[in-house]
Each structure stands twice: as C-alpha cells, then as structure tokens.
C-alpha cells in the first residue's frame, strides 16, 4: 500500500499528525494507499516556508516567471499519459476524460504565459501641474486553494498557475480522495524552474481548512466544492480579513425548443449528463423540453442512446463511456436520491440501480438513470445529485422553461437548443445564470475568459481564470509623483485638481 506525503519546501514530507485517510480504487473498491491529514502545526509550517520564499519570487520580473510557465506546459505535455493514468486510478474517470482534465488546466497555464502583459499597470502623464500618476499590480504574498476531487488536475492549475504567475506563493490543499496528481504537479513546477517553497501541497481535512482560514499570513483563498462548505469558507475567510472566492453547487438546465435538432439535442444531453459519471459542476442534470410533443420526441431519442452507454473501469481504454463514482458513499447517495425520485412520483424510464460489472462487483459503479415527468418540488430536481442521473421536467411554454432555470437557487451553467436566433438571444440576455450555452451543452469558457456562476453557485466578486484571476491574485497600488524641480519656495503641495 502506497503512503502519500505532503510536499513542503521542495521535499516530500511524511505526515506527523498520526491521522490518515484511505485512497481508494473506485473501480475495485480496494484501498490502494493512505494520505496524511495535516495538523494545524503542519499547515502553519508550510505557510512559514512559503512566506520566506515569496519575496524573492515576487521580485522576479514577470517575463522570467512566464518562462517557468512555458516550461511547465512542455512538461505537462510530456507526462500527459502518466498524469491521466494516475488520475484515473484514484478518481475512476476514463483516461481520455482524465487527459481532458489535465488539458483544460494546461490551457490556463498557457494563458498565464501572458503575465507580462496582464500585469501591466496604467500611466497618466501630467495629471496635474508637473504631476504624473501611475498604478501597478503587485502580488498579495501567500495565497491558498482548497480544491475538489472531481478535477484533481484542472482546478488546482486554475488556481496556482495565475497566483504564481502574479508573484505569489501558493498553498494547495487538494482533495484527500485523489491527492497523487496534485503532488505530481508540484514536482513538475519545480522541474520547470519554480523555486522551492513557492508551491506547497498540504493534504488534509477540515483541520487543515480551518488552519488556512485562521492563518494571518495567508492573504487569499480559493475554493471549489459544495455550497454549504463554500458558504462556510467564504464567511470565515472574509471575517478573518482575507480575499476569498468560493464556487459551490449547481443544477444546470438545458432547454430544448420544439424547433431544435432532436438528434443533436439528445447526443448533447447524453454527453453532458452522463460523461464523467455526472461528477462535474457543469454537467447537465435537468432537461426542459418545451411542449409534450417535444418531450416525447426527445425521450424517444434519449432512451436507446442511454441504454447503449458502456460503463467500466478506466483500464478498458476508449471502450467505456464513463467509470465509477468516486466513493461508496457517493454511490449510496445517488441511489438514495433515485429512490426518493420514485417515491415522490417521477417516472424512472432507465433504471441503473442494479448495474453490476463482472470482476468489479465491489467497485463504485452506478448505471445511467433517466427520469421523466419530474416536478420542481422533487428532491431530484432541487438537489445536486452529482451522478449519472438525468431528470426531464416538461414545460408548456418557453416562459415556463426559462422560469425554471431562473427560479432555481443555483446559477452555474445553462443551455438552450434551438434554431431560432431571436429565442437564443433573448435567452442569453435574460437568464440569471453565469455561463450560457447556445446549442452547446457544457458552456465552460476557454482560459482567456472567466469561469463562474451566479446565485448560490458562487460567493465572491471575481471569477476563476482569465483576466479576473490576475485581479484576484494582485492588489493595485497607485502612485502620484511630483518632482521638486522648478517649485517655488513655500509652495504648498495639494491633491491634483482637474482644470
């Protein structure tokens, strides 16, 4: 059994708290390793190391910091297969899906190569008589990120790449369920030329999270996970004077208009609803067809596609559509919510509860599920299931359909499938949701735009990656300069006034 470590000051460090969490193989249900859970003292030690290393790194010019990112991209491409296989072994997602996890993180790193441009300030010549004014963006110091199990490569890179490119040090507290890839990323960053102590990986649970919230040297915190924990971290981080961005749960609707291409819509729903076993915050979990005829046509297209889905271990390569969910508890929760949907009156058209895979009977596999005739008061509609469950809620009109998405407490992502440009434009303008797809089922923005939802899907003012990341990980300093040449004796200095 593998015993994992923390990564502090460029060295793999064994845990000293005496507490460990099991790292499972989701396909077999077997324990394949254990990861240390850091104490407050261990976390504080990592922060102390980072605080000592950061000033020198912050003084490195942005172009040289960008060169580290360039080299890191090369190393990610070099080790893509190794990273994907390690990720799949601990998370359960297929290797192509795991490689996509790494790739979407890599794209943010590529964006961060533009740090010299993105960190440029502003300058005003002659803001007043003999007075110049300029602003600069400066690093915060020590920053931290708390990342989830479902994207153990992508989301850490979404956080630490811009933070480090801005000149900060970064403490990464990854999910204890799949910690190996974050440790590998830290190694690769140092191989790329990052000084020791700038990227630290500290594994842990709530004790480590609370230590991050309480440590006075940590200036900012990023978080991705469930809404209740996002609210907790945001409230306590802000109370302790930190800059905080937290991303929570989701319940993403896809509206299907009567004029939509039903084959295209069905293919999109299958990919967006069941890919990665539904364990992603941008998964489409609610299909909202407008009109019973549209709903019936969609169901007719969906059922044969769903029944053909292949579920299996990542070792099956490209022969499977999705793998197991991450833990036995996750499987139990999905099956509980499915039963709740049945009990509350929804029609279960595709039942995946009895799915079993020969040779992997102890794995955390969940077959695909499809509900129809659900209503907005049912638990399968109100709660984030985070599994391979698609729920259809029928709407009589476009206004009713858009109202469902707008009234839901979550506002992460949404989509509409239609051939009508006016409808699509109205939807994009009116919907109170952060990321919108038009004939695109998973509207995750590319690295040079920002990622973020609305409502209870986000807590904080700035989004992830793109220009917002460089604002979040820096603070602005504005300088007003007046030189004494030509100033008469006794002349007073005052605030510049526009004349």
Catalytic residues: 281
The CB density around residue 409, as the number of other CB atoms within 10 Å, is 12
369-372 and 347-350 strand pairing: antiparallel
DSSP result, 185-224: HHHHHHHTTPPTTSEEE---SHHHHHHHHH-TTEEEEEEE
According to DSSP H, which parts of 344-452 are helical? 379-382, 398-407, 421-430
- Residue 257 tokens, joined: 């208009």
CB 123 within 8 A of CB 138: no
Q: What tokens appear for 68 in the block?
A: 């580290």
CA atoms of 277 and 196, how far apart (whole Å): 37
Cβ 153 vs Cβ 107: under 8 Å: no
Read off φ and ψ for residue 466, nearest 5 degrees. 65, -165
Strand order in the sheet with 131-139: 122-128, 131-139, 474-482
Torsion of CA 63, 100, 76, 47, to 10 degrees: 70
Helix (H) or strand (E) holding 385: none
Contact between residue 496 and residue 131 where contact means Cβ atoms under 8 Å apart:
yes
CA distance 250 to 457: 6
């Amino acid at each position: 059994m593998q015993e994992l470590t923390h990564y502090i000051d460029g060295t793999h460090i064994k845990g000293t708290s005496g507490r460990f969490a099991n790292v499972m193989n989701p396909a077999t249900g077997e324990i394949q390793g254990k990861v240390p859970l850091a104490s407050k003292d261990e976390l504080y030690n990592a922060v102390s190391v980072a605080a000592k290393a950061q000033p020198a790194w912050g003084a490195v010019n942005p172009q040289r910091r960008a060169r580290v990112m360039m080299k890191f991209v090369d190393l990610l491409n070099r080790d893509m297969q190794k990273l994907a296989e390690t990720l799949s072994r601990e998370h359960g997602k297929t290797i192509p899906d795991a490689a996509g996890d790494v790739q979407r993180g890599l794209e943010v790193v590529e964006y961060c190569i533009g740090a010299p441009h993105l960190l440029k300030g502003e300058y005003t010549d002659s803001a007043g008589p003999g007075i110049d004014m300029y602003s600069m963006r400066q690093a915060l110091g020590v920053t931290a990120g708390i990342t989830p199990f479902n994207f153990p490569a992508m989301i850490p890179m979404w956080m630490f790449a811009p933070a480090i490119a801005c000149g900060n040090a970064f403490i990464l507290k990854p999910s204890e369920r799949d910690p190996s890839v974050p440790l590998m990323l830290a190694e690769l960053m140092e191989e790329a030329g990052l000084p020791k102590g700038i990227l630290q990986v500290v594994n842990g649970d709530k004790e480590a999270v609370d230590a991050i919230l309480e440590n006075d040297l940590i200036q900012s915190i990023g978080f991705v996970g469930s809404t209740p924990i996002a609210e907790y971290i945001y409230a306590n981080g802000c109370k302790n004077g930190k800059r905080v961005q937290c991303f929570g749960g989701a319940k993403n609707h896809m509206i299907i208009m009567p004029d939509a291409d039903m084959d295209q819509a069905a293919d999109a729903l299958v990919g967006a609803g069941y890919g990665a076993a539904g364990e992603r915050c941008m998964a489409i979990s609610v299909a909202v067809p407008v009109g019973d005829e549209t709903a019936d046509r969609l169901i007719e297209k969906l059922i044969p596609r769903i029944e053909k889905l292949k579920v299996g271990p990542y070792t099956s390569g490209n022969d499977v559509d999705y793998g197991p969910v991450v833990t036995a508890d996750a499987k139990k929760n999905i099956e509980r919510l499915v039963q709740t949907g049945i009990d509350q009156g929804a029609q279960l058209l595709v039942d995946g509860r009895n799915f079993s895979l020969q040779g992997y009977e102890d794995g955390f596999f969940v077959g695909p599920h499809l509900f129809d005739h659900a209503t907005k008061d049912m638990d399968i509609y109100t709660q984030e299931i985070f599994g391979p469950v698609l729920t259809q809620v029928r709407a009589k009109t476009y206004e009713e359909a858009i109202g469902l998405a707008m009234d839901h407490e979550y506002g992460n992502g949404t989509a509409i499938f239609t051939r009508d440009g006016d409808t699509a434009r109205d939807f994009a303008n009116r919907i109170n949701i952060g990321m919108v797809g038009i004939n695109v089922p998973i509207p995750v923005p590319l690295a040079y735009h920002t990622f973020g939802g609305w409502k209870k899907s986000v807590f904080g003012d700035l989004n992830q990656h793109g220009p917002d990341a460089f604002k979040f990980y820096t603070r602005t300093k504005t300088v007003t300069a007046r030189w004494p040449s030509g100033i008469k004796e006794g002349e007073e200095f005052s605030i510049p006034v526009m004349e």
